[in-house]
Amino acid sequence: MTIRPLVAGNWKMNGTTAALREPRLLAGMLRDVKLKTDIMICPPATLIRRVKSVMKGSKVRLAGQDCHAAASGAHTGDISADMLKDAGCVAVIVGHSERRTNHKETDAMVQAKAAAAHKAGLTAIICIGETLDERKGGKTLGVLSDQLKGSVPAGATAANSVIAYEPVWAIGTGLTATAKEIEEAHAHIRAELAKVMGGEGASTRILYGGSVKPSNAAELMGVPNVNGALVGGASLKAVDFIGIIKAYL
């Protein structure tokens, strides 16, 4: 089965107007490129419309970094999936480890957010991953199973859901999991997805994230069951991001 890969760039809490230079450059670099991968940028909410506008005409799609589980209401500072859709997004990241850690988000909350994304017509990019202690304690595969079971909502399909495997200890640290570790985790996720999503699990994209950069992208993207990347730091500069996208050209 061929699965069209996805490379998504998560800007996190980075970027003001000056940062618009980068997606503008990226759009130029991609102009005559025949893409074999989908590309998304997840800017801070304040820049979604503007990034979309500077990339007009390119195939790059926009995604949010988080959404609230409710459709609207008294939730100061939060953003609903409908609002992201209205701003021009096609997807939203849910359950990123920084949200799970900094905002104490549980699997149940992540599941509710993913369901809200689906309801709004957005693809949910559902993040899972073990901590260093969990890996050292030999708990990695069990943790991934539990997170998948708890975070993927009913009604998830290969079209409306993407899984991002991001070992917490590899995010923003410069450390990447080895190809062998990634292969083991992704094979496990693929097998577990069959239980959680039935037949849809076989064609659902599983991204790897955690210190992906131009120098390691080709190797990591070549690992079986890796269907793309969720990129943090290296998505902020167009030259780095295109260096990762090139793993698929």
Q: Which residues of this protein are in contact with ligand PGA, per CB under 6 A? A: 10, 166, 171-172, 209-212, 230-234
Q: Which is nearer to ligand PGA, 15 or 82 (CB)?
A: 15
Q: Which is nearer to ligand PGA, 51 or 93 (CB)?
A: 93
Q: Which is nearer to ligand PGA, 22 or 166 (CB)?
A: 166
Smallest distance, Å, CB 198 to ligand PGA? 27
Smallest distance, Å, CB 232 to ligand PGA? 2
Q: Contacts from 212-221 at CB under 8 Å and sequence distance 24+?
A: 212/176, 212/244, 213/240, 213/243, 213/244, 214/240, 214/243, 214/244, 214/246, 216/176, 217/243, 217/244, 217/246, 217/247, 218/247, 219/179, 220/176, 220/179, 220/182, 220/247, 221/5, 221/247, 221/248
Q: Which is nearer to ligand PGA, 82 or 127 (CB)?
A: 127
CA 26 to the chain's CA centroid: 19
Report which residue's Cβ sits closest to ligand PGA.
232
CA distances from 105 to 92, 95, 97, 148, 232 (A): 16, 7, 9, 14, 20
CA distances from 206 to 3, 21, 28, 107, 132 (A): 10, 30, 28, 18, 21
Q: Which is nearer to ligand PGA, 82 or 144 (CB)?
A: 144
Q: Clarify whether 105 is annotated catalytic.
A: no
Q: Which of 166, 186, 188, 192 is catalytic?
A: 166
CA 105 to the chain's CA centroid: 17
Q: What tokens does 72 get?
A: 């609207």
Residue type for position 61: R
Q: Which of 68, 96, 118, 188 is catalytic?
A: 96
Q: Clarify whether 186 is annotated catalytic.
A: no
Rounded Cα–Cα distance for residues 123 and 63 (Å): 9
Q: List active site positions.
A: 96, 166
